[in-house]
Chains A and B, each alone.
Chain A
């Protein structure tokens, strides 16, 4: 149990366009999901906490107008990278936890390349 599905696995987009990444909890409900970003050879950096039915909480230094997060249901959170630029190219990962004594489950990640 406790599966988190992330889509797409990889995406290439042109500079200036927007890209949406989906994160779904398949067999549990998640009132909270987390979005991370990882640059090559670096650790995961938390970007924001996605809360179902309310505004996301962004970490310091993360532009909320650039990284739009929507958590419209208990099983789906989306991250939209708006007006993407090459420096936004990165590995984006989401995570969530079922409401029991269980470690957080991570999605398989989305490799974004902006050209």
Chain B
């Protein structure tokens, strides 16, 4: 699976949009971009995933560049409860397959009041 690069930490003001970047310049054509987050001492939580089109759900939006070499996770109105480590993962196959997830170090997002 392709490797990802994320900033180690970011800060965001409560109520503002949080934009978390991820670089995956070696991504292959059949690899999806997944985002998870982990709040302290809990299991990771799935946020969103996409292949090449931008995606939006009730939690966040995922913007993937046209060349697919980078992406941005957007939390439109960050709250204090969004403080967590956010992981960007690229992986072959869609959910439901046996392909494992490999976690990098992620980005610690701190939402400040």
Q: Which residues of B have CB within 8 Å of A95?
A: 43-44, 101
User: Interface digits, A94-115 against B, CB 8 Å rule (1 contact, 0 not)?
Assistant: 0101111111111111010000
Distance to closest chain A CB from B101 (angstroms)? 6
Query: Interface size bucket, A side?
Result: 20 to 34
Q: Which residues in window 46-85 of B have CB below 8 A to A?
A: 46-49
Q: Which residues of A have CB within 8 Å of B49?
A: 103
Q: Main SS of chain B's interface residues?
A: loop
User: Interface digits, A77-101 against B, CB 8 Å rule (1 contact, 0 not)?
Assistant: 0000000000000010101011111
A111 to chain B: closest residue by CB = B41
Q: A6-B43, A91-B41, A109-B41 are in contact. Are A46 and B95 (CB under 8 A)?
A: no
Distance to closest chain A CB from B39 (angstroms)? 11
Binding site for A on B (CB under 8 A): 34, 36, 38, 41-49, 87, 94-98, 100-106
Apart from A44-B44, A101-B94, what 15 extra A-B contacts exist at CB < 8 Å? A6-B43, A34-B100, A44-B103, A46-B100, A46-B101, A46-B102, A46-B103, A97-B96, A102-B46, A102-B96, A104-B95, A106-B46, A109-B41, A109-B43, A111-B41
Binding site for B on A (CB under 8 A): 4, 6, 31-32, 34, 36, 43-46, 49, 91, 93, 95, 97-109, 111
Task: List 18 A-B pairs, Cβ < 8 Å.
Answer: A6-B43, A43-B87, A46-B100, A46-B102, A46-B103, A49-B98, A91-B41, A95-B43, A95-B101, A97-B97, A98-B95, A100-B96, A101-B95, A103-B47, A104-B46, A104-B101, A109-B41, A111-B41
